[in-house]
Structure 1
């Protein structure tokens, strides 16, 4: 089976230090918040499944990339999360990347 090439489309990071509300790179502009089709993986440890490097002191909350032209979102497993609002914000952020918002998080 041929190897799949992963092309990073975006990521979000959170501070590794224990804090009440982790650093969040923000919500995408409204033009990137529309519907979109993607393969979604719910992961217990997002860092194990995202092909992007992370700056020291940070951990991934989610990521978006493409595999052979197919959009893929890796999101945290929502079951043990408990914070519904944070999960929705992470999902919206990564959907924004799926819809063309760059990893530079422009407004």
Structure 2
């Protein structure tokens, strides 16, 4: 299971999600770009900047809820510690 954070090109929006298949989920987010009925489509938040692996669904969901409750500053610090330049993470080449 994965907990992940997406942002948009101007880094003004953060979206936190949980999935068991991160590549598939990223594809689904990018396919929904511009769909204003969905948060990620409305704000074009499709750039992966953070993820963590969780051992099971219960823990992943709980962690996602914790992160969603954090302030923007605390979320920024988490991303910064994991990905200091906020580069878009390509799962095929990521060495972080």
TM range (shorter): under 0.3
| Larger fraction in helix | 2
Q: Higher relative contact order by CA 8 Å / sep ≥ 6: 1 or 2? A: 1
Select the structure of larger CA radius of gyration: 1
TM-score, with structure 1 as normaliser: 0.26
| Larger fraction in strand | 1
